[in-house]
Amino acid sequence: MGLGTLRRHRRSTPPNAPETSTPLPEDFPGRSALLAAGYATLESLRGLSEADLVAIKGIGPKLAQQILQALESE
């Protein structure tokens, strides 16, 4: 099997990734801190608590609340 064949058969998303992923909007609260911590999609934030968010460098309680509110409106 040649390299071209391998490229055609490669999955475009990781096997455990959700079917759809929504990148964090440019104006999303705390976006740079979230991206630095590895949270690049809205789906990756779902289920995080305020305490989880505050544990991320650069996110305090007020910003954590803004993030949770923004998630509810998405």
Q: Percent of the chain scored above 90 by pLDDT?
A: 69
- The encoded tokens of residue 56 equal 């991320």
Span 5-11, mean pLDDT? Answer: 45
pLDDT band with cut points at 50, 70 and 90 for residue 12 = very low
The type of residue at 30 is G
Sorted by where each starts, the structural domains of the chain and their CATH numbers stand as 21-73 (1.10.150.20)
CB atoms within 10 A of CB 54: 14
For residue 1, what pLDDT is reported? 44
Instruction: Write the pLDDT tens digit of every residue in 36-71.
Output: 999 999 999 999 999 999 999 999 999 999 999 999
Chain-centroid distance, C-alpha 17: 11
**Spatial distance between the Cα atoms of 5 and 55, rounded to a whole number of angstroms:** 44
pLDDT band with cut points at 50, 70 and 90 for residue 11 = very low
